[in-house]
Structure 1
């Protein structure tokens, strides 16, 4: 608890408080979905001063300052900016574009699709760590024009408990926001042993950080939950999560990130995916070159012949089933996609596709929206600043022409993106 309080104070100190006589904007007339799961406010008003929300509610009860700039949103829907709890933002050494510019371009791409906060869970270099700090400095100064970034640094492996503790400490010293570990390799791999990942979880908490672990099976999920993990970075994909496991996840407040589109991307390019024809996808120039490489007859044939690609199909079906089971049980769900981690995991668009797949799994549109906004912020422990349209939070908001509560796919009727109360063009 002391750690969470100190984290909140440090974030407030970094982002700063609103100065006196700051500029004020009032968003007027929209249906407001605040990201908490509460009923939407019709003919709502959101008042923003110096990048922070100062009032939210029906027009009949919210006093709009006389000097406020009014933005008329009658007939529109306003919701919080999307929070991606599991993404990847990293630079390719093969590109002629400078590394920092590659990262900024990816964050701008996320923002164009309404993703205003990104947690990059792995393979983050020094440029990414520096940029994560810079986005918060820009937020405080009111100059942020792309998604803000949080990072985990490199995904950690270890040979034994002592090595695991050492690697965690070294990663924390780099200035990362969270620790990420991947359970991989043969069954007897050291990182799969409870003594090793348990030591890394314990050291992470000793260092005042939180840890997300990449897992696949129910058995290894039980192991990391028993060891004290904070976040499950993927779905359970081998069998139904039983009542005891679900109860343990819920009782310990462990966050669950499904990443359904991660598994979809493993096999979907064996043909031409339906989403390729979606105007919301096709409008983005940055997608064209990677899509072309995935769409050659040779690439498609290779994917059709790949046993791993075919094996993930039933795993994805199982992931959807477990998402429904855990959501119904009240486990904290955070939307995440693993976008940016490999070819065909399209940053920006895949977050909307993920939300549609979460609804297909049985979650209601409101549950999905909460998982993609306030719920994700709560799982990542940034909900005192981000994720909801409530007084004191950063004014990251999206304007849609049609309500996603009627159909979650209406998230793609995105018209405007505002970050810290400034419109992103």
Structure 2
């Protein structure tokens, strides 16, 4: 069974028409990545379109990312944040109290894992709230930041997402940048070797 913090499925219209588009469908789960039950805040619930413990996604095309070809006419049943069953529409039992979502013409893909990401841009040390929504809307459900201009804010945002207080992908946080004399003022210019070691130890204890 694959676990989903918030079940985030990128649903893509497979079409070459001018009006083809991508939608982000957010499905509510009340269990976070540690297995702990959580209550989503209104800040997150406003993005939840289907708030149900049992959801059946039917008539979908599924790309599983394991090297096999896409599968059509698939049904995916999700119970309490876990994949319960997936297969041909005709062979899947859908619970009577399930919320059924017809995904005809759409494709389910795995969440994308970003391995080099940032939550800042030049002159803006932290754009985490905005960037996390954009990553998620693009189908990215986990990011690894590679150097941070605001590591403490990054850690706080990561915790808020885990606890259902903010929306965004899972964030694997990183520490601050080091630079030399005359470098970027948003980066740390170490005074000596001890300063470098102390800084690394400090942020390691913070969990980055």
The TM-score, its normalising length taken from structure 1, stands at: 0.32
Aligned pair count?
Answer: 153
Displacement of 1:174 in angstroms is 1.9
Displacement of 1:164 in angstroms is 5.7
Query: Which residue of structure 1 aligns with residue 34 of structure 2?
Result: 14
Deviations 1:276-317 (A, max 9, x none): xxxxxxxxxxxxxxxxxxxxxxxxxxxxxxxxxxxxxxxxxx
Q: Distance in 2 between matches of 1:103 and 1:53?
A: 29
Deviations 1:197-234 (A, max 9, x none): xxxxxxxxxxxxxxxxxxxxxxxxxxxxxxxxxxxxxx
Q: Of 161, 168, 183, which aligns to 1:146?
A: 168
Structure 2 residue ranges without an equivalent (≥5): 1-31, 39-51, 180-189
Residue 115 of structure 1 pairs with residue 140 of structure 2: yes
Query: Which residue of structure 2 aligns with residue 135 of structure 1?
Result: 161
Displacement of 1:91 in angstroms is 7.2
Higher fraction of helix: 1
CA contact (8 A) 1:111 1:146 kept: yes
What secondary structure sits across from 1:71 in the alignment?
strand
What secondary structure sits across from 2:143 in the alignment?
strand
Displacement of 1:94 in angstroms is 5.8
Q: Distance in 1 between matches of 2:177 and 2:53?
A: 42
CA 1:61 to 1:165, structure 2 compared with 1: closer, same or farther past 3 Å?
farther
What secondary structure sits across from 1:38 in the alignment?
coil
CA contact (8 A) 1:91 1:103 kept: no
Residue 88 of structure 1 pairs with residue 118 of structure 2: yes
Two-structure CA RMSD over aligned residues (Å): 3.2
Higher fraction of strand: 2
Q: Of 146, 152, 177, which aligns to 1:126?
A: 152
Could you list the runs of 4 or more consecutive aligned residues of structure 1 that deviate by over 6 angstroms after TM superposition? Answer: none
Q: Distance in 2 between matches of 1:108 and 1:166?
A: 33
**Aligned residue runs from structure 1 range 325-340, under 5 A:** none
**Aligned residue runs from structure 1 range 70-219, under 5 A:** 70-90=100-120, 102-123=127-148, 124-138=150-164, 145-155=167-177, 165-176=197-208
What secondary structure sits across from 2:85 in the alignment?
strand
Structure 1 residue ranges without an equivalent (≥5): 1-11, 177-425
Q: Distance in 1 between matches of 2:121 and 2:35?
A: 26
The TM-score, its normalising length taken from structure 2, stands at: 0.60
